[in-house]
Chains A and B, each alone.
Chain A
Amino acid sequence: DIQLTQSPSSLSASIGDRVTITCRASQYIGNFLNWCQLKPGEAPRLLIYAASNLQSGVPSRFSGSGSGTDFTLTISSLQPEDFATYYCQQSFTTPFTFGPGTKVDV
């Protein structure tokens, strides 16, 4: 299975901060890397697909970059609704796998 690691595992930030989360794959996955946001009691939300494409309806403060094995999710200016846990996920091959998550809190 392809293993995904994320760093940091958690971070504390303030409104307006620039936040960067990294994801590393255990082998080459091209650009088959996606980012989603989870909040308790809510449906998970796809933010970025194919490494750098913004999902429809997602604010432009979210961006993604990377290819191969190293990827980054950036929130350019953190908003109150962005406090959540973020997961990377690879769709290069089955079994599809997720990173362990990065919790963003105050």
Chain B
Amino acid sequence: QVQLQESGPGLVKPSQTLSLTCSVSGASMSSGGFYWSWVRHLPGKGLEWIGHMFYGGSTDYNPSLESRVAISAGTSKNQFSLKLNSVTAADTALYFCARKRPNDAFDLWGQGTFVTVSS
């Protein structure tokens, strides 16, 4: 059974970089042609797609965040990471990693990790 799990600091100071890791278990990220994604749930607002990576290949980002975001393979096999720089309080959110099928839905999600941006 494939599972995803987010990890990283729960508190980040304004202007610094938010860094999260998603660990994938039960299957190899390099197979299946999936897009490995990050989505956030902003308090009192909705869900926002941040971006995704195709293992060993391309990335695609939400234009609203593109200047500040990077998604890449993690330092360990079967992990991928999110970096969001120059954060503000508006980046406080529940961050999910998810697997997306090509031309299709986000079919597997992690439980999410809440990140607060505050001094």
Contact = CB atoms under 8 A, between A and B. Distances in A.
A57 B80 CA distance: 27
Interface string B39-79: 00100001111000000000010111000000000000000
Contacts of A99: 46
Interface in A75-103: 87, 89, 91, 94-101
A97 B111 contact: no
Contacts of A94: 49, 60, 62
A105 B101 CA distance: 30
B105 interface: yes
Main secondary structure of the interface of B (DSSP, over half): strand
A55 B109 contact: no
B112 A43 contact: yes
A36 interface: yes
Interface of B: 4, 41, 46-49, 60, 62-64, 96, 98, 100-101, 103-112
Interface string A32-67: 101010100111111001100001000000000000
Contact of A36 (B60, B63, B106): B106
A104 B46 CA distance: 16
A49 B49 contact: no
Interface residues of A, number: 24
Contact of B96 (A32, A44, A46, A55): A44
A42 B96 CA distance: 11
A100 B98 CA distance: 19
Given A41-B111, A42-B111, A43-B111, A101 B106 contact: no
Contacts of B103: 32, 91
Q: Chain A CB within 10 Å — which of B47, B96, B101, B103 has the most? A: B47
A100 B101 CA distance: 22
A100 B106 CA distance: 17
A35 to B, nearest CB: 9
B61 to A, nearest CB: 8
Contacts of B98: 44
